[in-house]
């Protein structure tokens, strides 16, 4: 049996405080009760947190990774809200996009695709196994060659970086913090681009992108969707997002910039000149990044367009074609 102070020395005496010291007793413990910690209300609707709004103040994100998820959710017919948070630190993975569901769960990147499959029983994938394997090859081509050109154009072309990219990603951050984080991000992009090449050569990067776009155009052919699918798939969401991101970057017309600077800033967008993506620049229906409501303002991508509630965000990858009923606009 273990000895205790009471067994060894007997009961300890009870001290009675005089009435003048009654206030020292902890009879009202706890001394102070604080209110409960504030819990933000849960969303009443599944919400996708992204970089935004788009370059023309629309719902389509200017960030290609965010736009891929936006497109896929739209293709699946999922009703969701968009929050242009522009703060990757708010995400558990410190990356955007992320999806906050009404159940309180948070999903990132591929987890969102899995969530769609598991909770909605939806999977916009190709039915044929051989086509799925081929699609993986094309997606890899896009996410290496075409993405490298997009990152180079956005972050390393001085005119695009200073006039568009920095303002889009860090315009909400106070000076000089915005320039510091933009410089750090630019260095990160350079290291990413150097991960599979020894030196960055503008001509080589854009040549790879041109070959990728040519391969995509040939593969699409006269079909409405890649690999002859009856509806847009995850592959279509990825390819649309990259082409839209390339073509939607604002064309810089104001400012005292040299012709060479303007030429370099516009190199990538000029590579997208395939009849089944966009018509030639001489055609009145070609896409014009500054104002999609001008006579030059049409960008069709895929025939089934999914339009947002504000009638500005045309979701889909509609092939370019002249229609008797007149043009529709991607705003």
In CATH, what number does 47-120 get?
3.40.30.10
Q: What does the pLDDT read at residue 320?
A: 33
Q: What does the pLDDT read at residue 201?
A: 95
Name beta bridge partners: 107. Answer: 99
Q: What does the pLDDT read at residue 278?
A: 57
Q: What is the mean pLDDT of residues 7-36?
A: 72
pLDDT tens column, 224-236: 889 988 888 999 9
Tokens representing 147 are 């993405």
Q: What does the pLDDT read at residue 166?
A: 96
Tokens representing 290 are 């500054």
pLDDT-derived band at 124, boundaries 50, 70, 90: confident
Would you say residue 97 has pLDDT above 90? yes
Percent of the chain with pLDDT over 70: 77
More reliable by pLDDT, 112 or 286:
112
Q: Output b/e per residue, 268-277; b: 16+ Cβ within 10 A.
A: bbebbebebb
3-state helix, strand, coil in the chain (%, to 5): 45, 5, 50
Three-class secondary structure of residue 331 per DSSP: coil
More reliable by pLDDT, 35 or 279:
35
Among positive and negative, which fits the CA dihedral 42, 48, 49, 52?
negative
Looking at the chain, which residues constitute the CATH 1.20.1050 domain(s)? Answer: 129-273
| CB neighbourhood size of 47 (10 A) | 17
Q: What does the pLDDT read at residue 28?
A: 65
pLDDT tens column, 219-265: 988 888 899 888 889 999 999 999 999 988 888 877 778 888 888 88
In CATH, what number does 129-273 get?
1.20.1050
For 99, 175, 321, the CA distances from 108, given in Å and listed in that order, are 6, 30, 36
More reliable by pLDDT, 14 or 95:
95
**77-91, 145-159, 276-290 — which is least confidently predicted?**
276-290
Residues 6 or more apart whose Cβ sits within 8 Å of residue 263: none
Would you say residue 296 has pLDDT above 90? no
Name beta bridge partners: 48. Answer: 82, 99
Q: Which of 298, 316, 291, 297 is nearest to 306 (CA)?
A: 316
CA distance 101 to 59: 19
Would you say residue 297 has pLDDT above 50? no
CA distance 194 to 217: 28
pLDDT tens column, 182-217: 999 999 999 999 998 999 999 999 999 999 999 999
Q: What is the mean pLDDT of residues 30-43?
A: 78
Tokens representing 275 are 């009849």
pLDDT-derived band at 295, boundaries 50, 70, 90: very low
Q: What is the mean pLDDT of residues 292-305?
A: 31
Q: Let me know: does 76 contact 122? Beta carbons within 8 Å.
A: yes
pLDDT tens column, 135-187: 999 999 999 999 999 999 999 999 999 999 999 999 999 999 999 999 999 99
Q: What does the pLDDT read at residue 281?
A: 36
Looking at the chain, which residues constitute the CATH 3.40.30.10 domain(s)? Answer: 47-120
Q: pTM of the prediction?
A: 0.75
């Amino acid at each position: 049996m273990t000895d205790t102070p009471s067994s060894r020395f007997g009961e300890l005496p009870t001290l009675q405080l005089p009435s003048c010291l009654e206030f020292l007793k902890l009879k009202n413990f706890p001394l102070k009760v604080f209110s409960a910690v504030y819990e933000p209300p849960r969303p009443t609707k599944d919400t996708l947190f992204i970089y935004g709004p788009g370059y023309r103040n629309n719902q389509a994100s200017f960030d290609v990774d965010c736009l891929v998820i936006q497109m896929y959710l739209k293709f699946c017919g999922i009703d969701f809200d968009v929050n242009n948070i522009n703060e990757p630190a708010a995400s558990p993975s410190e990356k955007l996009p992320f999806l906050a569901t009404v159940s309180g769960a948070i999903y990132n990147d591929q987890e969102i695709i899995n969530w769609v499959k598991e909770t909605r029983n939806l999977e916009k994938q190709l039915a044929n196994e051989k086509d799925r394997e081929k699609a993986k090859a094309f997606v890899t081509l896009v996410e290496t060659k075409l993405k490298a050109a997009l990152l180079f154009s956005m972050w390393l072309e001085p005119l695009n970086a200073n006039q568009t990219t920095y303002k889009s990603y860090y315009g909400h951050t106070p000076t000089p913090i915005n320039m510091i984080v933009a410089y750090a991000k630019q260095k990160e992009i350079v290291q990413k681009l150097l991960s599979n090449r020894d030196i960055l050569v503008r001509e080589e990067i854009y040549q790879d992108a041109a070959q990728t776009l040519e391969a995509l155009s040939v593969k699409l052919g006269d079909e409405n969707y890649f690999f002859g699918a009856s509806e847009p798939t995850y592959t279509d969401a990825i390819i649309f997002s990259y082409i839209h991101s390339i073509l939607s970057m604002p064309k810089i017309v104001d400012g005292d910039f040299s012709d060479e600077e303007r030429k370099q800033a516009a190199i990538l967008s000029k590579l997208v000149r395939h009849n089944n993506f966009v018509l030639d620049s001489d055609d009145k229906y070609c896409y014009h990044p500054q104002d999609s409501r001008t006579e030059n303002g049409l960008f069709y991508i895929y025939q089934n367009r999914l339009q947002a509630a504000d009638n500005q965000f045309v979701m889909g990858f509609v092939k370019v074609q002249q229609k008797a009923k007149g043009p529709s606009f991607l705003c």
